[in-house]
Structure 1
Amino acid sequence: MDFTVDFSEKGNYFLIKVDGEIDAYHSATFKQKSKEKLSGTSHSKYVIEMSNVTYIDSAGLGAVVSLLKEARNLKKELVLVGLQPQVRKIFEMTKLDKIVKIVDTIDEI
């Protein structure tokens, strides 16, 4: 599956839409592109839409944690949306669901 990261500004948040697998091969690109965008926007909330992410490994989790740290340093909120069951399970197993806000739909933000 191809890996893509798209960025857009919505009403009160900045949207990062990820498609594909966030793994060792793609995580650096995901993190770098996202960090560049985060520091360049004035929105107080960053939303990573992950409904089309089918797999995440430790490198991908590391990228998410890095983005969470970056958001907190900028006094911003990071929210993950639409995790597929197998991806959500990884966040639960690693207890990352306790430190990053995860919601099912954009409407819950």
Structure 2
Amino acid sequence: MKKLWGNYSYAIILVVLSMLSLVVLKINLPSSPDHYVTITVSAGESLWEISQKYEGQHGLSEMEFIKWVEQYNGISGDHIFSGENIIIPIKAGNIELNETQDLASK
């Protein structure tokens, strides 16, 4: 075992660090856009209003929601425009049920 460690210690350390790095990246990187809901911004709508509109579905504070949307969509300073498509931090399966419930209650 000592001989193995002595000959391949750098390679073993490199493999272990690489695996740890991959795990950390997998945890921290957002999922693909297909896993989240894409919405079209309405006229006069802000990220703050969108956060409040979907408040029960994302589980984030307004500031966390806005920061996530800005980072994920490459937006800076709450600059969104009417007709623009943005990805919001709501799992794709969650929104369909709530929209169906909203339509049924109208």
TM-score (norm 2): 0.24
Whose strand fraction is larger, Structure 1's or Structure 2's? 1
Structure with higher RCO (Cα < 8 A, 6+ apart): 2
> Looking at CA atoms only, which structure, 1 or 2, has the larger radius of gyration?
2
Whose helix fraction is larger, Structure 1's or Structure 2's? 2
